[in-house]
Amino acid sequence: MSLRGRDFLTMQEYTKEELWLMLKLARQMKEKITEKEKRDLLAGKTLAMIFQKPSTRTRVSFEVGMRQLGGYAIYLNWNELQLGRGETIADTAKVLSRYVNGIMARVYSHKDIEELAKYADIPVVNGLSDLHHPCQGLSDLLTIWEKKGDLEGLKLAWIGDGNNVCNSLLIGCTKLGVNISVACPEGYEPDMTIMKWAKKNAEETGTIVEIIRDPKKAAKNADIIYTDTFVSMGMEVERTKRLKTFIPKYQVTSNLFRYALPEAIFMHCLPCHRGEEATAEVIDGPRSIIFDQAENRLHAQKAILALIL
């Protein structure tokens, strides 16, 4: 099964078998493949990394990942490129296609990354957009698989804003057999097109997917409780309104975990805000696997790059 030359914009574009191929390679890279074998995989290849939004995990994990695979990564700030002075995305994509072997972009609008992929002659990876965060979703599924030993039949409770990470988890979970219950306030639901995809996936895999209002109902018998910041980058003007909407009802607390299974784990894609989307007791407690998630961004992305570049 070859994925060479393909974009990685959303997980919906990949089959269950292809996603498992990525997960298995990521785990092999983390546990089994020697350093020499890793360095040979992308020897001589270069990844251009375009950042419209700032980042810690995305930049460092992609840059280190390319280095570990024997390749090279170039950091390109959107405003330092001619993009910041009005050059079109199409022209930028065509030029970069003459220089490098792949492009990773972290952008505000998903339309921008779609346009980049449309005009590039090389693979494009979505490092984050307003609608999707597929690299985060894949690394989260890798982490759950490591911790729980399987994916099929588990229940993930998403508590809070139906944002880009939620959208990607809806796709990934329903493709790989994880039941997912999203508890969010009215008006903060996941993207409806993505929900249609998730429901179609769920029909094919026998997975349960739902949007509800009650976090306690979502958390009932959950194996994983997952949340994200209530105020994402670009939403700062809505901060006061958002915090009033989400807190305290959608805050993840130790009390909420009483409804989950005894061995339930806590996940958060970071950065986190203690006392907002979750309490410090949960974030820093024994159930939390947030730094394992962060580490697995490196391994999951190395697998993606090794397979498509």
Q: Which two tokens stand for residue 113?
A: 């990354």
Q: Cβ(228)–Cβ(184) under 8 Å? A: no
Q: What whole-number distance in Å separates Cα of residue 115 and Cα of residue 91?
A: 10
Provide the 3-class DSSP secondary structure of residue 227.
Answer: strand
Provide the 3-class DSSP secondary structure of residue 198.
Answer: helix
Is position 239 annotated as part of the catalytic site? Answer: no
CA atoms within 13 A on the CB side of 29: 28
Q: What whole-number distance in Å separates Cα of residue 249 and Cα of residue 297?
A: 30
Q: Which of 269, 272, 293, 301 is catalytic?
A: 269
Q: What whole-number distance in Å separates Cα of residue 179 and Cα of residue 206?
A: 9
Is position 293 annotated as part of the catalytic site? Answer: no
Q: Which of 27, 57, 132, 297 is catalytic?
A: 297
β-pairing verdict for 102-106 and 124-128:
parallel
Q: Which of 161, 228, 242, 268 is catalytic?
A: 228
Could you tell me how far CA 78 lies from the centroid of its own chain? 21
Is position 121 annotated as part of the catalytic site? Answer: no
Q: Which of 12, 132, 135, 136 is catalytic?
A: 136
Q: Which of 27, 106, 132, 242 is catalytic?
A: 106
Q: Which of 133, 242, 268, 299 is catalytic?
A: 133
Is position 228 annotated as part of the catalytic site? Answer: yes
Q: Indicate the DSSP class of residue 189.
A: P
Is position 106 annotated as part of the catalytic site? Answer: yes
Among all residues, which ones are annotated catalytic?
Answer: 106, 133, 136, 228, 269, 297
